[in-house]
Amino acid sequence: MTSPNPILSTIIFVFAFQAIVLGVLLVTKRPRKQSNIFLSLLIFFFALMALNIGLVNILWSRGMIEVFRYMQLELLYGIGPALYFYTKSVTDKEFVFSKRDAIHFVPVVLEFIFYRTAFYRLGADGLYQTPTHPYTKIYLAEQWLGSFSIMSYAIISLWLLFQYQSWLKQYYSNLEHKSLRWLQLPIIIYALFWIGWNFFAEVDKYFFDKSLKEYYILPTFVGLAIVTCWIGFKGYLKTHKETSGYASQKSKPTLDDPNPDLAKQLTELMEKKKPYLNSDLDLNTLAELLEVSPKQVSQTINRSFSKNFYEYVNSYRIEAFKELVAQPENKKLTLLGLAFECGFNSKSTFNDVFKKSTGKTPSQYAKQLKNKSERKQSVVSYDEHA
């Protein structure tokens, strides 16, 4: 174990306790939401990990590690299920946790019991003995299986998020207040943390004779405590948002032939009435304007234009922006202001869509347009004086 570091240990305890406080606030926040409960569990389990390493360092330095073996706080097997059900809850407003789902938390109960047995106490202490205790293999297997559990649930959670993002683009033209992209980074961090931790611990053990502990144990858990606190704050701020109901409305793809008549009507509507200028335009609104079902509109866009709803609507907004930025009277207006006039409601969305469509940023495009205009004026001026 590492030598105690008062500064790093204090940071760990402060952020870990702050995360626990956030968890309590999430559970008690009104209206009470299912997603808040699972987010609270998630940050609680990770806060326990940070508290665990801080506590074990203090007790180790005081020669009281035997006491710690009876109060192990780490609960790896609760992290994965809490992460998965949180993701499930925020991507599907109709999801309700059932008794059958509770089976996912049985391993964490067994883990808690395991830490109360000699298999854990002797196995964990055996890590620092030569030769290692026979129970050490059991302890290490439990740790690696816990890491695998977290990684497996995290992969499933990421898949849910990607499916949700894909579904959003079939129904909405602006995703700024519906996207859950912020959750992807914490999931990846949580998935890789224990795998990376165990990997570096083994490398340190076999190649550096455990001489690197001072450099990675406490700093790593400081980072974990900070990230856990961050996701608690972020999740708390995001709880006011309503999910869009991806899972409850997803439909199987069909093999219907393209509908050229509806595609023509749709094109005429977009060019003449310009509904894309409405930043809140969604699939249902567009379907109402065409007096057909949303499913028909979605299939027509997918099959006749080879785009999803998000791409289709924003392609018109991009063309509208190009027209506005090319007009001399708009030179004094900001690019973002012009983008908002064309139906965008987010700078990040506008930049992302424009770059994918043109291969250039809006400022690069405007600069290129300005240079072309100046060259053209120079040629005209030269011809007039020739």
In a domain, residue 218? The reply is yes
Assess whether 104 and 238 both reside in one domain. Answer: yes
In a domain, residue 104? The reply is yes
In a domain, residue 198? The reply is yes
Query: 218, 246, 274: which is the final residue of a domain?
Result: 246
Distant-in-sequence, close-in-space partners of 105: CB < 8 Å, separation ≥ 6: 78, 81
pLDDT at 159: 92
Q: What is the CATH number of the domain that holds 274?
A: 1.10.10.60
Assess whether 265 and 234 both reside in one domain. Answer: no
pLDDT tens sequence across 340-375 = 999 999 888 899 999 999 999 999 998 888 787 666
Range from 117-126, 232-241, 243-252 that averages highest in pLDDT:
117-126
Assess whether 232 and 283 both reside in one domain. Answer: no
In a domain, residue 92? The reply is yes
pLDDT at 64: 76
Range from 3-12, 44-53, 119-128, 349-358 that averages highest in pLDDT:
349-358
pLDDT at 110: 96
In a domain, residue 252? The reply is no
Assess whether 240 and 266 both reside in one domain. Answer: no
Under the banding of pLDDT at 50, 70 and 90, the label for residue 27 is: confident
Assess whether 177 and 324 both reside in one domain. Answer: no
Assess whether 87 and 133 both reside in one domain. Answer: yes
Assess whether 125 and 12 both reside in one domain. Answer: yes
Question: Among candidates 288, 284, 296, 312, which has minimal Cα distance to 257?
Answer: 296
Assess whether 199 and 64 both reside in one domain. Answer: yes
Which residues share a beta bridge with 282?
172
What single-letter amino acid sits at 357?
S
Q: How far is CA 174 from the centre of its chain?
A: 18
In a domain, residue 99? The reply is yes
What residue has token string 């995290």? 154
Assess whether 239 and 264 both reside in one domain. Answer: no
Q: What is the CATH number of the domain that holds 24?
A: 1.20.1070
Total domains present in the chain: 2
Assess whether 169 and 311 both reside in one domain. Answer: no
Query: 223, 246, 269: which is the final residue of a domain?
Result: 246
In a domain, residue 167? The reply is yes
Assess whether 182 and 217 both reside in one domain. Answer: yes
Mean residue pLDDT across the chain: 83
pLDDT tens sequence across 172-221 = 998 877 777 778 877 877 777 766 777 777 777 777 776 666 666 777 77
In a domain, residue 1? The reply is no
Q: Which one has a higher pLDDT value, 136 or 65?
A: 136
Assess whether 203 and 324 both reside in one domain. Answer: no
Range of the domain at 372: 260-385
**pTM of the predicted protein model:** 0.80
Q: How far is CA 132 from CA 126, 198, 273, in A?
A: 5, 17, 76
Which residues share a beta bridge with 172?
282
Sign of CA dihedral 246, 250, 256, 261: negative
pLDDT for residue 152 is more than 70 = yes
pLDDT at 69: 75
Query: 196, 219, 246: which is the final residue of a domain?
Result: 246
